[in-house]
Amino acid sequence: MATSNSTVTKPCKDRRQVLVMRFTAGERIAHWVHFIAFTILLGTGLFLYMPALRPFAVGEAGEASRLAHRGAAILFMAAPLIYLIWSPRDFFYSLREALTWGPDDLGWLRAAWGYYTRGDTARMPPQGKYNAGQKFNALTQIITFILFVVSGMIMWFGKGVVSPAVFVGSVIIHDLSMMVTVALFILHIYLVAVHPLMRESITAMFEGTVTEEFAREHHGKWLAEQEQERVYRRCRDE
């Protein structure tokens, strides 16, 4: 981690790349189930808040959008269960990682601005499977998941059962949780799909692998501590 202005993807040596298994099939499936469910929830939820989309919230269109929202909510709640059932070891490993913070995580937070704006790795400490930013995102997702589920259940089944104050409070909590997750969602999409230093993150969620160079630069501690499976492929530029 002593270099600066480095590039993540380096030319292949011996016309092959060394790949490291980063995400299992269970992790990837749970991720995409969560992504699809959240996107549907966001889209159908916005029908209530954007005047241009308000026609989709009334009449038959409104009935369809509410049905889609509730169906996506069930899928949203199922995502962590899919992860837990399919890959319990990885589920609890990721949970432990998200809850474990140390000096290297604080160092990452201090160095993140320079790294993402200038590619400066000189002060970037080695990270585990998830860097401090990803841990913060995971913790936020866990908290808002609980808030979404509890407030959503009250909004779905509690009208006329709970007091008006509890119902209105649930709506406010639901909306505030949405604002927080949308902000992180936009940042997440930018980093994995647009930022030039992080694009292997999105391919890892499709293929499960990253290059060894990427893993060493972004998750060096994890790469050193774990006996990750290596696979080989011919250079992509051939």
pLDDT of amino acid 73: 96
Split the chain (238 residues) into runs of 10 and give each run's mean pLDDT.
41 66 92 96 89 84 92 96 93 93 94 90 90 95 96 93 95 96 94 88 90 90 72 50
Sequence-ordered alpha helix ranges (H) in 100-163:
103-118, 132-157
Full-model pTM? 0.83
pLDDT of residue 14: 52
- Dmax over CA atoms of the chain, in Å, equals 69
Alpha-carbon distance 84 to 34, whole Å?
13
pLDDT score for 229: 52
pLDDT of residue 238: 43
Tell me what pLDDT residue 227 has: 63
pLDDT at 51: 81
- Sheet containing 230-234: order of strands: 209-211, 16-21, 230-234
pLDDT of 5: 41
How far apart are alpha carbons 215 and 93 in whole angstroms? 18
3 state DSSP class of 13: strand
The two counts, helices (H) then strands (E), for the chain are 9, 3
